[in-house]
Amino acid sequence: MAPTALDHDDDPVTAEYDVYITPELQEQIFLLQYPNRGRDQPYNDRNNSRPVEMRMKPEAGFIEVDVPMNVHANYDKRKGVMWGEAMRKSQENGESAFGLAAGFSGLSRTAVPTKTAPQGRADIQNQELEEDTVEQLLTKFEDANDKGHVMNKQTLGGQILKDETGKPIYMLGAFRGKELHLTKISGIVQMRPQFHHLDAVRDLENASRRREREANEPPRVGEPRAVQMTIKNDYGDAADAAQSKEFLFRAQEEKWTKLRYYDEDTDEAFATYHEKLFVEDPEAAPRLRSSLSNEAYLDAISAERSDPSGRSKKKPLTKRQMQRIEDSEESESEGEGEGVDGGNGP
């Protein structure tokens, strides 16, 4: 007799739930994951780390949040002032984004004009962070922090991974009694630290070197010169490069859309949770029915087996076929047992 899982069930069913799928929402739901943050330390009011700003580029698919930092514990005040001043000056010069969300600085400087201060890019105030300025800010650290001269927040961000045809579909589950309500997720974002302060320092240094070079070099006189053009035969690489360049341009041109952030313990958050993540009337909800039979489902999730010789192999047995084999083996075992008993009788 073939052994079955029912004879020795080490993993019994402990609970059963009715499953519901919520109607499609007009709003988008994104799952924000924080790989560098423990789940026991969420960014919320209870941990004094509620995000102070949240923004999004829906077309390019970027999300960023700014979370506050404690500048009075385990904090290097000198570096905080240096990086804070670099960020402040970059923002005054028209920089609102850095890194991939800004199309990378190299492309944004040459291809897409950036908003500048009224005096023009070449006449921007001295970009170098002078030592005496840093010392002055350190002596009045609290005042400098209040006036935005100190880096007192950390930026976390990432690119939205949206669902694609043929890829797994992720859903958000919410329990209510013996009911499990599933809501489709619009996308997933892994929120990782963004080093915008280092980008700001680099930009200021590049601007300073560019001004020095322009001041020392004599004005250039335009003169004719030969230009040699080459064409690559690798059209695939060229197409990919053009597509990537276009994406970076669009990312740089798109403006940030600021979002209103509600802490998880607020009344607004609870109201949205109950309104959007549950089926309003479970009794009237249509019954979910699969378009596939059990056999078709097993065939769909089973990998096709191939033979290097080119000969096709049999498909995996379906659940019904395996059950028939087990039933047949059980019948044969019972028949053999009855025959033995009859032979030993009087």
119 within domain boundaries: no
Q: Would you place residue 114 in the very low, low, confident or very high pLDDT band (cuts 50, 70, 90)? A: very low
Closest CA to 21 of 285, 275, 269: 285
Taking 70 as the threshold, does the pLDDT of residue 116 lie above it?
A: no
Give a yes or no: residue 311 inside a domain: no
Q: Token match 């007009």: residue?
A: 26
For residue 126, the model assigns a pLDDT of 46
pLDDT digits over 194-241, tens only? 998 888 888 888 777 877 777 777 766 666 666 555 555 555 566 677
Specify if 312 maps to a domain. no
- The reported pTM is 0.67
Counting the structural domains of the chain, the total is 1
Domain membership of residue 9 (yes or no) is no
Question: Domain containing 141: what range?
Answer: 28-113+129-216+254-270
| CA angle (18, 24, 27) in 5-degree steps | 125
Let me know if residue 295 belongs to a domain: no
Residue 95 falls within a domain, yes or no? yes
Question: Which runs of consecutive H residues, i.e. helices, occur in the chain?
Answer: 77-92, 105-110, 131-139, 141-146, 196-216, 235-253, 267-276, 294-301, 319-343
- Within a domain: 189: yes
Q: Which is nearest to 278 in space by CA: 176, 205, 131?
A: 176
Q: Is the pLDDT of residue 1 over 70?
A: no
Residue 121 within any structural domain of the chain: no
Cβ count near 200 (within 10 Å)? 23
